[in-house]
Amino acid sequence: MQLLRVFVFSWLPVFCTLSAQAPGGWPQFRGNAQLTGVATPALPAALALRWTYETGEPVGSSAAIADGVVYIGSAKGELLAIDLESGKLRWKYATGPDGFIESSSPAVGRDAVFIGDLTGTMHAVNARDGSRLWTFKTDSEVKSSPVVVGDLVLIGSYDMHLYALDSHTGKVRWKLQTDGPVHATPAVQNGVMYLAGCDERFRAVRLADGKVLFEMRLGAYVGASTAIAGDRAYVGTFNSEVLALDVRARKILWRYRDPSREFPYYSSAALVDGRVIVGGRDKAIHAIDAASGKGVWKFVTRARVDSSPAVAGGRVYVGSSDGKLYVLDAATGTKQWEFDAGDAITASPAIAAGRLVIGSQDGRIYCFG
């Protein structure tokens, strides 16, 4: 399931996004509000394991990194703040009974960290000491990751709504009703939120008041989040396709379908150097030409790839359910390095300050640099 967005309206207010507040950081799922999955500083050519942290339960949440701290959720129902350099725990926040964190990933604001759980609760936590600031209860599970835009926090719920909450109080500013669970994380650009979802629709929504500016029928269920660049949005579907959408013309530009195998795409795409890089449940990572929709290269793993790739310094970093973290050359798809965690990696890499952080289903958080 999922959300997506992309459209530039010159007359709309431009919101200050969180990614602009944290240069070199990775403050939310996919690194920035456009969900492009790209980190500016490169990582060392030869990665070394710097530390591990044992959570005691599987980690499907992807990390956020800000101001030298790693924030990440675990299936134990805990939001953890870990020192990026040393791997030492700074604080631990418990969501409460049955508040398991499955795939929701933290978003970091100026003074707060936000995350959702399977009881349907959104938590705002003090970034300094892990104390509770406020909670907001939806009517079903929250697997979507929050996005902070100015003084708004956006979060989707399986109750078929996307909520825009006041980041200071947790009060609802507006909410958007859809025709299916809201699983994906919304993308934001120039005052507009873009969302593709389980109801097979793609919507552009004005942040100021929640007004739907337009919607498109995709003809397929979507579980991935959309990446946006300029007037184009890119997202994979459960109909075994990756779509490129022109949000100005409001039409589908191209459909990519692997000619040899047909499996759903749950991974969210990274956008770099004119290419769309995405994992598939066909066990492969695909690089697609963003202009034409033609395949450029494909790297095959031993299990499905639900992890969303991150790109830094000309390399692609992505996990696989075969238990490995892969590093690929972004231009050719050639494998440059791998690490075997011994259990499925469904979370996505976070990259900041010369470090890569990722969780695994083995209950460990790994930091490389």
- Cα–Cα distance, 63 to 153 (Å, whole number): 18
Token pair of 37 as six digits: 């999955």
> Looking at the predicted structure, is the pLDDT value of residue 327 above 80?
yes
Contact 97, 118 (CB under 8 A): no
Average pLDDT rounded to a whole number, residues 308-315: 98
- Which pLDDT value is given to residue 41? 86
DSSP-assigned beta bridge partners for residue 172: 165
DSSP-assigned beta bridge partners for residue 162: 156, 176
| Residue in 127, 107, 199 with CA at minimum distance from that of residue 160 | 199
Condensed to tens digits (0 to 9), the pLDDT of residues 156-201 reads: 999 999 999 999 999 999 999 999 999 999 999 999 999 999 999 9
Average pLDDT, the chain: 93
> Looking at the predicted structure, is the pLDDT value of residue 20 above 50?
no
| Residue in 105, 30, 85 with CA at minimum distance from that of residue 318 | 30
- Cα–Cα distance, 340 to 226 (Å, whole number): 29
> Looking at the predicted structure, is the pLDDT value of residue 16 above 50?
no
Element at 176 (helix H, strand E): strand 172-177
Average pLDDT rounded to a whole number, residues 6-16: 28
Confidence of residue 11 (pLDDT cuts 50, 70, 90): very low
> Looking at the predicted structure, is the pLDDT value of residue 17 above 70?
no
Please count the helices (runs of H) and the strands (runs of E) in the chain.
0, 32
- Cα–Cα distance, 203 to 201 (Å, whole number): 6
Tokens 């990775």 belong to 26
Is 260 or 8 the better-scoring residue by pLDDT?
260
Average pLDDT rounded to a whole number, residues 6-11: 29
- Cα–Cα distance, 25 to 369 (Å, whole number): 15
Condensed to tens digits (0 to 9), the pLDDT of residues 226-250 reads: 999 999 999 999 999 999 999 999 9
Average pLDDT rounded to a whole number, residues 115-143: 98
